[in-house]
Structure formats: C-alpha cells, structure tokens
Amino acid sequence: MKEILRFAPIYQDRVWGGRVLESAFGRTLPADRPIGESWEMVDRPEAQSVVTAGALKGQTLRQVIEQHAAAVMGPKWPKEKPFPMLVKWLDCRERLSLQVHPPAKLAAELKGEPKTENWYIAHSTADAHLLVGLKKGVTKKQFEEAMANNTLETCIHHFRVAAGDSILVHSGQVHAIDAGNLILEIQQNSDTTYRVYDWGRVGLDGKPRQLHIEQSLKSIDWTDFEPAPVRGAPTSGVIADCDLFTISRVVLGAGERYTVAANEQPRILSVVSGKVRAGGEAASGTRTPFGQALGPGENALLPYAGGFTFTAETTSILLVTENFAG
C-alpha cells in the first residue's frame, strides 16, 4: 500500500450551512440545499468514505483497513478496529448551536462517545468569532440561571478569529462556532453532540431542534475558563497536541518539498491553500513522480507503508495529522 488514499466527500445538510465549499474549493454541491458539513474521511457504521482513485478505487475505508490493516495503519493495528479520526469541512453560514461532547469518563454512562476536535480557520468574515469555554468565574448555578432566562451567551467565552487561527476543543468543553467561518475540523471518531442551547432556532423541518440539557450539564467541565486559540502565523509548527492526535502546520513556498518516510506511521494530509504534487518512493529508495495533484480543500490518507514527497506548485499551507494510531 504505497499510494495516497483520497476519498469522495459525504455532504451533510445543516440548518446553519451554506454553499461556500463551491466558491472556496470549486466543488459541485447537491443543488438547493444548505450544506453545512463535508465528511472527508470517516469509518463509521452510518457513513463510509469511498476511495476515488488508484488500485483500491470504489472500496470503503472499512474495506481498505480490513484487507490492508498492516500496510495502512501499521503492523499492530487490528483489522476490525475503526479508523480513529474523522475529518470534516464545516461551512458555518449561521451560528451553530451551543454544545458539548461527553468526556471519556462519562461517555459510556451517557450512552455516547467522547469527542476531542481541532478547528482550523481556513476562511472567515471580518467579524467572525468562536465561542469556547466559560467566562472566568462562571459557576454551574449561574449557567443554569442564564439558561432559564435566555441570557446564556453572557456566560460563554467569545473571541474573534481570522484565517490561520486554530483551537483544540476537548471533550467536556462547551462551544459553538459563530457565523462566517469555513473550518477544517479534525476530530476523534465520534458523532455524539449534546445541544445545550440553539438560540431559539428551528430546524430544516420547521420545528425546534432537540436539546440535551441533562447530558450537557453532566458533561460540561465547570473549571474550563477562557481557553486561548493558536493564532495564525506564516510559519510551520505544531498547532494541536493531545493524547489522541497531533496536528502540524506545514508552510511551503513554490518548489519546496515536504517528505514523509515509509514504515513510520499513517498520516492525514490536508491542503488548506495552494497546490502540491505527490511523489512516491520506489523499492530502491529513489523518488518516483506519481503526478497526483492535491488542491485546496483536499484531504488524503498517507498509509504506514508508503513514503511520499509533496512538492508545492504555489505557496501552500498543509496540515499534517499524526500520532493517532496508538
């Protein structure tokens, strides 16, 4: 397994979604629908990424791992174990609900899955914000009182963001994404979300969306005050590091290269901006040009067994996710 794996996006209707994936990345979206999420890489019972090119074209990510676990994930990876990450683009035309994901110690009790995620801002409007964590000193009692009188926003930490900023959002951290953000979300493989508050909005069916008050109040970390984002900078470096994954930003000038060696670990390569061309490594160790180009918005899985070189055709920003295979 010495070729990069690229997958067909799975588009999700969301009441807060829009059509920015068309203008930002030149994609063709399902017509006349608010597309809030594009699931780029997923291995779940309800959603499976499908390979779009190469020797494994047409296979699901689950089939790929079942048949090539050692080559894709490494020699110790059980073939029945799901791919541990979920990669999404989020087009937030409107503000998302205020929500929380259950922490690992409570997830089973609440019949959910923990979810730690990282948000990288690819584009934003001039006044776009994120809401993450509590304002300093807010107590559970104050939070519940604010819920009752519809002033909950006053309890949540707000901050303005711009392209290049990012933040790691842990399970148990209350959060929402404000309108005007296009975000690459790289997360733990989970789809459990508890809505705390939805700003009085109705869903696509015209009815108020379900809230999960009891589960949310049990899940929120009441000691989490005013977390700080990682601000964008035109330099390479680690932007997120936790026990589930590490994400690095790689900035390349035209003609510069990024190389990963074979038989180290699987990685996820995400092109935030620019364009890179992929090459591989022959058995002799010499580099062989494959000629696959990855443009803005594309995500690829780099298997454990493959060695690759990516050459920037223009100034490019990549995110490289690693340390997720245990």
Closest alpha carbon to 254 in 317, 305, 179: 317
Q: What angle do CA 156, 162, 164 make, to 5 degrees?
A: 115
Strand pairing category for 267-273 and 35-41 = unpaired
Reading the block at residue 67, the tokens are 């048949």
More confident residue, 287 or 31: 31
> Could you report the per-residue pLDDT of 194-245, keeping only the tens digit for each?
999 998 888 888 888 899 999 999 999 999 999 999 999 888 999 999 999 9
| Percentage of the chain exceeding pLDDT 70 | 96
| Percentage of the chain exceeding pLDDT 90 | 89
> Could you report the per-residue pLDDT of 284-308, keeping only the tens digit for each?
344 444 578 999 999 999 999 999 9
Sorting pLDDT into bands at 50, 70 and 90, what band is 280? low
- The DSSP-derived string for 216-247 is HHHH--TT-B-PPPBPP-SS-EEEEE-SS-EE
**pTM for the whole thing?**
0.94
Query: Which pLDDT value is given to residue 281?
Result: 55
Q: Hunting for tokens 């807060």 — which residue is that?
A: 16
Active-site residue set: 195
- The DSSP-derived string for 54-91 is STTTT-BHHHHHHHHHHHHH-TT--TTSPPSEEEEEEE
Residues of 110-149 as b/e, b for ≥16 C-beta within 10 angstroms? Answer: bebbbbbbbbbbbbbeeebbbbbbbeeebeeeebeebbee
Residue 28 in this model has a pLDDT that exceeds 50: yes
> Could you report the per-residue pLDDT of 85-111, keeping only the tens digit for each?
999 999 999 999 999 999 999 999 999
Mean pLDDT of the 134-151 span: 95
Closest alpha carbon to 27 in 322, 289, 35: 35
Mean pLDDT of the 181-189 span: 98
Sorting pLDDT into bands at 50, 70 and 90, what band is 279? confident
Residue 15 in this model has a pLDDT that exceeds 70: yes
Give all domains of the chain, ordered by start, each with its CATH number.
5-219 (2.60.120.10), 237-322 (2.60.120.10)
The phi, psi pair for 113, rounded to 5°, reads -125, 140
Sorting pLDDT into bands at 50, 70 and 90, what band is 22? very high
Q: Hunting for tokens 């209350």 — which residue is that?
A: 174
Sorting pLDDT into bands at 50, 70 and 90, what band is 36? very high
Q: Where are the alpha helices (DSSP H) in the chain?
A: 20-25, 61-73, 104-107, 140-148, 213-219
Sequence-ordered list of residues with C-beta below 8 angstroms from that of 8, at least 6 positions apart, any chain: 49, 50, 52
Number of Cβ within 10 Å of residue 324's Cβ equals 20
Sorting pLDDT into bands at 50, 70 and 90, what band is 30? very high
Mean pLDDT of the 56-76 span: 97
Mean pLDDT of the 61-80 span: 97
Torsional sign, CA 190, 196, 201, 205? positive
